[in-house]
Amino acid sequence: MVRVMASGVFDILHSGHLHYLRYAKSQGDELVVVIANDATVRRKKHEPIIPDKMRLELVQELKPVDMAMVGHDGNIFDIVDEIRPDVIILGYDQRFGEQELEKLLAERGLDVRVLRAPEFTDDLNATRHIIRKVIDWHSGREEEDA
């Protein structure tokens, strides 16, 4: 049984998330998805639009996902120790390098293969693109309503 771990914010689910999770699932038998907790999202990206418990509920219902959980605040490797994956799939835009992460995991005594998911090239494949489109649409509507 090959356990695969994928992680992300998953703030406003979109087709890029689905393609990422399908790819992750294709790399093993069981897919465990870690959703970044609200404190981590605030610290590393932005104020979450959707609270972590709601993002968890949405992600765990996606077909490729066998199990989903909210990540811990603090050391990112604690959750890896808990899940004990055979493979970690990085999103195409996640900051870690594959070799760098494998080295850090090995230093912790974890033998985990790290792969990067390919980029999905849909024009709305990122939450920031969706937000920008909504803002642009809303701004245009306000001008029409004036």
Rounded CA-CA distance 47/138 in Å is: 20
Q: How far is CA 19 from CA 26, 31, 95, 144, in A?
A: 11, 13, 18, 36
As its CATH architecture, domain 3-120 has: 3-Layer(aba) Sandwich (3.40)
More confident residue, 68 or 93: 68
User: Is 126 a residue whose pLDDT tops 70?
Assistant: no
pLDDT at 96 over 90: no
pLDDT at site 94: 84
For the chain, what's the residue count? 146
Domains of the chain, by residue range, sit at 3-120
Range name among 10-14, 74-78, 132-136 with the lowest pLDDT average = 132-136
- Max CA-CA distance within the chain? 63
Average pLDDT over residues 14-24: 92
pLDDT confidence of residue 14? 86
Q: Is the pLDDT of residue 91 over 70?
A: yes
Ranges 6-15, 87-96, 120-129: which has the least confidence: 120-129
pLDDT of residue 99: 93
Average pLDDT over residues 78-85: 94
* Helical segments of 32-76, H only: 38-44, 52-60
Rounded distance between C-alpha atoms, residue 12 and residue 45, angstroms = 14
